[in-house]
Amino acid sequence: MSTTAGSGVEVLAIDTQALGDRSYLAHDGEVALVVDPQRDIDRVLALAAARGVRITHVFETHLHNDYVTGGLALAMATGAAYHVSAADQVAFDRVPVSDGDVIDVSKVMSVRVLATPGHTFTHLSYVLEAGGEVHAVFSGGSLLYGSTGRPDLLGAGHADELARAQYGSARRLAAELPADTGIYPTHGFGSFCSATQTEGTFSTIGRERLVNPVLMLDEDGYVAATLAGLDAYPAYYAHMGPANAAGPGDPDLSPPRRADADELRKRIEAGEWIVDLRARRAFAAGHLAGTLSFDLDGSFATYLGWLIPWDTPLTLLGQTPEQVAEAQRELVRIGIERPQAAADGGPDSWAAGQALRSFPVADFATLAAVRHHRPVVILDVRRNSEWTQGHIDGAVHVPLHDLPGHIGGLPGGEIWVHCQGGYRASVAASFLDAKDRVVVAVDDDFDRAAGAGLPVVAGP
């Protein structure tokens, strides 16, 4: 996505769909600034080269909770000034910025700093002015499309205070900026940093005044609704703030050391994580015993980072070397720096003669039919908010992020595991299979459950 101002300034979005985030590059044809770059800065450098522009300034809206920044590495690679809130305690040199500061980026572009606490205490937004007119605001985790950044990532004890600060910040943006100002948030495209799910790819201050609850409700109503709607967020978030404050360097994306079948077996026996990146149905059809399924075509890094005990040795199994490389790229974004090893090809080569394991895949209609003939355990691994909105009567509920520590407490018998769309169910099924449970993965949309004849009820 790109937009162009009348002065010729172009804003380009760099999507990181797997994490639900965006970074931005804005330029005037010669000079560029970058906001909230992800760890893999080669994408930013390639975009700047394609546009034929020099990156001279890098801005961080906040110390991110959902990814490791590439800001410091990008600034060092380009010689750009690195702008970070003066109130943030960091271990690296940066250009400290505060509310009201104005940075002249080029003859055409300038950036005005606005303090917008709420997602964090020190959060900043950056107003881009082009040719003396307001063109855009990079709002980070403040004002999102139809929502705001969540206020509880620094601890539940701060959530009410930060929610009220978020309300004031969003109101400030709406009051001080023209209606046609484009909004460019970092979060809100699937990120768990968003207080609620958002929709759309572009918005303006004027549109948000009409549709965003933070600009429509009174303060108490907004705070109550926001806090009531919060659900769990990934466990790896706890490591992101410290990593970003320390100043992460350029990641190492070189290929991992190759592992043979004997090494894979020993690593599995040692309790390490051996992650199969193939499509979830391919994993179900045949996989190396003890391996875990995290389909690369989904929220791979989010759920792997959520579930893996931090610093656990990790080996990646991919159909191709390119699949392994893509997984590495996603993992360095959340601070998992280097796999211990990797292998490609397929399960037959990884097993080297050992028998492969498999489990069935089914839909909700099949589950409904089977339930009439024999007792089975229905395991729902969705989050609490999803369960409350509607679940199969009689199902057992264990959110995926809690499952590894609760497998031993599940009822005996055959387990049919489901989620909202199939991805989390496949991950859960691999954990159950690794513990020798008899499991069926329901790879179906939960919205079809009631139509298939399964009794769906709401409530806790």
pLDDT digits (tens, 9 = 90+) for 319-361: 999 999 999 999 999 999 999 999 999 999 999 888 899 999 9
pLDDT at 403 exceeding the cut of 60: yes
Instruction: With cut-offs at 50, 70 and 90, classify the pLDDT of residue 3.
Output: low
Give a yes or no: residue 251 inside a domain. no
The verdict on 297 and 337 lying in the same domain is yes
pLDDT tens digits, residue range 45-60?
Answer: 999 999 999 999 999 9
* Dihedral Cα 400, 402, 404, 409, nearest 10 deg: -110
The verdict on 280 and 198 lying in the same domain is no
Give a yes or no: residue 168 inside a domain. yes
Q: Where is the domain boundary, 188, 214, 246?
A: 246
Q: Is the pTM above the cut of 0.85? A: yes
pLDDT tens digits, residue range 226-251?
Answer: 999 999 999 999 999 999 999 999 99
Which residues contact residue 367 at a Cβ distance below 8 angstroms, ignoring those fewer than 6 apart? Answer: 376, 378, 416, 418, 440, 442, 452, 454
The verdict on 444 and 329 lying in the same domain is no
The verdict on 222 and 302 lying in the same domain is no
The verdict on 390 and 423 lying in the same domain is yes
CA distances from 66 to 20, 124, 164, 316, 336 (A): 10, 17, 22, 22, 13
What residues make up the domain containing 382?
361-457
pLDDT tens digits, residue range 259-308?
Answer: 999 999 999 999 999 999 999 999 999 999 999 999 999 899 999 999 99
Give a yes or no: residue 252 inside a domain. no
Instruction: With cut-offs at 50, 70 and 90, classify the pLDDT of residue 200.
Output: confident
The pair of three-digit structure tokens given for residue 199, joined into one six-digit string? 């929709």
CATH at 222: 3.60.15.10
Q: Is 83 exposed, middle or buried (0-12, 13-18, 19+ CB in 10 A)?
A: buried
CATH at 333: 3.40.250.10
Which residues contact residue 326 at a Cβ distance below 8 angstroms, ignoring those fewer than 6 apart? Answer: 296
The verdict on 62 and 117 lying in the same domain is yes
CA pair distance 220, 186, nearest whole angstrom? 26
pLDDT at 5 exceeding the cut of 90: no
The verdict on 345 and 381 lying in the same domain is no
pLDDT at 364 exceeding the cut of 60: yes
CA pair distance 435, 437, nearest whole angstrom? 6
State the sign of the Cα–Cα–Cα–Cα dihedral 204, 207, 211, 214.
positive
The count of domains in the chain is 3
Give a yes or no: residue 254 inside a domain. no
Give a yes or no: residue 255 inside a domain. no
